[in-house]
Amino acid sequence: MTPKTPPHQLQLNEHGQLRHFLTTEGLSTELLTEILDTAESFVSVGKQAVKKVPLLRGKTVVNLFFEASTRTRTTFELAAKRLSADVLNIDISTSATSKGESLMDMLWNLEAMDSDMFVVRHQASGAPHFIAEHVTPSVAVINAGDGRHAHPTQAMLDMYTIRRHKGDFAKLNVAIVGDVLHSRVARSQVHALRGLNVGEVRVIGPKTLIPADFEGLGAKIYYDMAKGLKDVDVVIMLRLQKERMQSALLPSESEFYRLYGLTMEKLAFAKPDAIIMHPGPINRGVEIESAVADCSRSVILQQVNYGIAVRMAVLSMAMSGQTEVAAQEGGV
């Protein structure tokens, strides 16, 4: 599924507002900051007696997860419901696509039911972009993770977590560690960090798990944990994605852990107040030791909590931008 229009152009309307949210690549500092600021306004909603605001009342959000992900799907569902939207979760395993119906036929049927937004997670890179090119002007598309390509809302909740705990991005050194090759979130994180003018982005891992193009994205590559973690403010660990590996890229999990697993000993190379992050799910004893994952500097559970507010921000901003496009194209 190769989109004809570059995703960073497709996702904005003529006023520079979010129309879809497909990638962090190419987004301006102003728009990235607007997402974070909007999320800030939603954080308190989860603390209210009634955890709802009426921004998407009467709208229908459809979760289309062609690939399983309990954490991401659940937080999107909570985000939509807290915005007062109606939420429809499609079980792809029992949907008509499993019976031979094409993806577009399924989408057109959902459009005919007056759906307003599709949240799409797909194993094929480019699938949400392809869908965004073919939906009607009144439907917004949110990328909830596609292949190895992008996971923009995860990247933005990571950015929010960093800003909440560390403040000014320009003063920070951020290290992304582990299986970068198979990680869709790592690419989105680098684009977002560069867009927010972070001091330095470092990528750390074995040569077999770091794509050749990452240096061109503005990241410094390290193959040694001690050198890569020296004086960093933020450590983002990645999951070792064994299910995506096509060949023997690692000698063993134990060898990976010995060299690149985050232990208290390796963490000592970072700044004393460095925070530890992980997009989840965590493989303890593979990417990170329990003493690190559960220590006071770990903000992994906060990431999950902030994810609801960030996804509320993205849903509300995309729906607003899409409504304006639909009104203009409909002649309203």
Q: Which positions make up the binding site for L-aspartate?
A: 99, 184, 239
The annotated binding site for carbamoyl phosphate is made up of 71-72, 121, 151, 154, 280-281
Helices (H), 218-299: 225-229, 253-260, 264-267, 290-293
Q: How far from 33 is each of 5, 153, 192, CA to CA, in Å? A: 25, 13, 10
Whether the upstream peptide bond of residue 281 has omega within 30° of 0, thus cis, is yes
Helices (H), 17-96: 29-42, 70-82
**3 state SS for 149-181:** CECHHHHHHHHHHHHHHHCCHHHCEEEEECCCC
C-alpha R_g of the chain: 20
Q: What are phi and psi of 121, to 5 degrees?
A: -120, 130
Tell me the C-alpha distance between 255 and 258, whole Å.
Answer: 5
Residue 246 CA to chain centroid, in angstroms? 23
Residue 58 identity: G
Contacts of 221 by beta carbon, 8 Å cutoff, 6+ apart: 202, 203, 204, 210, 214, 215
The annotated binding site is made up of 71-72, 99, 121, 151, 154, 184, 239, 280-281
